[in-house]
Structure 1
Amino acid sequence: MISEFKNFISRGNVVDLAVGVIIGAAFTAVVKSFTENLISPLLGVFLGKVDFSKIVLTIGSAQFKVGTFINDIINFLIIAFVVFLMIKAINKFVKKQEKTVAPSKEEEYLKDIRDLLEKQSE
């Protein structure tokens, strides 16, 4: 059982996943700091120096931290936008790589055969 666990944990996919989670957590901390320290004050300038983190809705003894929720939504949107840009860049890179690959001889022969068959059918 220990050797199976060792084989599982040493596979590339598990290590890649762990690295992704660690980088994701670090990136989330950076985005949270960006939102709290730059975006919120900037929006506060336009909205009359509103500090989102201090917006609280109190009903009875319950407090709803609306401002914190707004900050979290902003964090999510920033992260989602950056992930979108990364995926778009990766797709562009992959398409560029696909275009630069020369067709194999088999593909060229198949294209020639296709073209000949099309000429015969006309």
Structure 2
Amino acid sequence: MINEFKAFIAKGNVMDMAVGIIIGAAFTAIVQSLVGDIINPIIALFTGGIDFSGWFYVLDGETYVSREAAMEAGAPVFAAGKFVMAVINFFIIAFVVFMLVKMVNRIKAAAEKPAEVVPQVPAGPSEIDILIEIRDALKK
């Protein structure tokens, strides 16, 4: 069983997956910062700072100042605004990741682009061909 485990761990796929997870975790922090600290403020500038996370409906009919206050009071809260913000953030993050992947693919394609193929000039006749022609011409 230990040998099977060693063989499993030694496979390239497991190591690739581990590296992918570690880089993915680091990349998540970068993308969240990009979206939260750079893109969302720009969007807020154009939308007047609309934050949908304040949209909520308390199902027991009571009135609360905020969603947090309602939740602290133990009231059942339908937090549609938080869901809307999560969906908006998902689309922003998906678009940012798409643009990053597109940029990386473009860079990768440029790096893998083969050097321009120099057209080969057809080689002239070989020495033997020329000697044969001279011999045939002398015979005539």
Given the two structures, how large is their TM-score scaled by the length of structure 2?
0.59
Identity, in percent, stands at 37
Task: Give the residue type in structure 2 aligned to 1:85.
Answer: M
Matches within 5 A, 1:41-80: 41-51=41-51, 54=53, 56=55, 58=57, 60=59, 61-64=77-80, 65-80=83-98
- Pair 1:58–1:73, CA change in 2 (3 A): farther
- Pair 1:77–1:84, CA change in 2 (3 A): same
Q: Which of 1 and 2 has higher RCO (CA within 8 Å, sep 6+)?
A: 2
Two-structure CA RMSD over aligned residues (Å): 2.8
Equivalence for 1:87: 105
Q: Aligned pair count?
A: 102
Q: Please state which structure has a larger fraction of its residues in helix.
A: 1
Give unmatched runs, 5+ long, in structure 2: 60-76, 124-140
- Pair 1:55–1:82, CA change in 2 (3 A): farther
- Pair 1:6–1:101, CA change in 2 (3 A): farther
Give unmatched runs, 5+ long, in structure 1: 103-107, 113-122
Q: Distance in 2 between matches of 1:11 and 1:79?
A: 29
Contact 1:31-1:78 within 8 A present in 2 as well: yes
Of the two, which has the highest radius of gyration?
Answer: 2
Q: Distance in 2 between matches of 1:94 and 1:35?
A: 31
Contact 1:57-1:63 within 8 A present in 2 as well: yes
Given the two structures, how large is their TM-score scaled by the length of structure 1?
0.67
Task: Give the residue type in structure 2 aligned to 1:56.
Answer: W
